[in-house]
Amino acid sequence: MLRDMTPPPQRAQPHRTNPLWVAVGFVLTGLGFLGLILPGLPGTVFFVLAAAAFAKGDPRWETWLLSRPVVGQMVQDYREGKGMPLRAKWIACACIVVAVSFSLTRITVLAGQVAWGLVALFGLWYITLRVPTKRE
């Protein structure tokens, strides 16, 4: 008597959802949308982090986020290493300069002013030299 040696068909694994990561994804998505509206608040960073959180929590929400018209393209560009458009780099750098200029007068301690200035310089350096410029 010969037995069939083919393995039994594999059942699809049930989809697992991690509610904590989904909640984090929604908070970051909300911050990302605020970043699209408010000057000085970056949107792309929050959307990239939200996509990562959704990927861990529930890939269906990641798919939803990536299907949004503007947001999905920003996250895809980041994941593919394409960088930022030159106009976005200029806007980000201008926002850093304006925000730091206004806030430096509110910091009364010299060490705090120096530290805040160094944070601004680091941000400017990172955006201009480390983040690739996306060519249209």
Please state, in angstroms and rounded to a whole number, the distance separating the CA atoms of residues 61 and 52: 10
The 3-state DSSP class for residue 84 equals strand
Residue type, 20: L
Tens-place pLDDT, residues 20-50: 999 999 999 999 899 888 776 778 888 989 9
pLDDT computed for residue 62 by the predictor:
93
Tens-place pLDDT, residues 59-69: 999 999 999 98
Query: Over 60: is that where the pLDDT of 91 sits?
Result: yes
Place of tokens 């920003």: 74
Query: Over 60: is that where the pLDDT of 12 sits?
Result: no
The 3-state DSSP class for residue 133 equals strand
pTM of the model: 0.64
